[in-house]
């Protein structure tokens, strides 16, 4: 069972920046990690939890990548 879910805490105010205009930035991230499903919470929820799901090692790589992106904001 290689499937893995991970909740990343990313401040809500950064979500729009990570998603980018018309979703361009998040599309790049999704292209980089095609096996990982990235779920951002509905903006109205003001939640800081971004869910990642997919193969364990890919989820970990994606989580590290997203953490790096956030650190650079």
Query: Averaged over 14-33, what is the pLDDT?
Result: 97
Judged against a pLDDT cut of 80, whether residue 29 lies above it is answered with yes
Are 62 and 27 a contacting pair, CB within 8 Å? no
Structural domain spans, the chain: 3-71
The CA distance from 55 to 16, in Å, is 26
Residue 53 has pLDDT above 90, yes or no: yes
Identify the CATH number of the domain defined by range 3-71. 3.30.1370.10
Q: Assess contact for 58 and 33: CB atoms under 8 A.
A: yes
Res. 40 pLDDT band, cuts 50 70 90: very high
d(CA 9, CA 22): 22
């Amino acid at each position: 069972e290689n499937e893995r879910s991970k909740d990343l805490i990313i401040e809500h105010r950064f979500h729009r920046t990570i998603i980018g205009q018309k979703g361009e930035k998040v599309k790049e991230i999704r292209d980089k990690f095609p096996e990982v499903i990235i779920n951002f919470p509905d903006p109205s929820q003001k939640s800081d939890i971004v869910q990642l799901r997919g193969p364990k090692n890919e989820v970990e790589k994606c989580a590290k990548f997203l953490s790096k992106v956030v650190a650079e904001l």
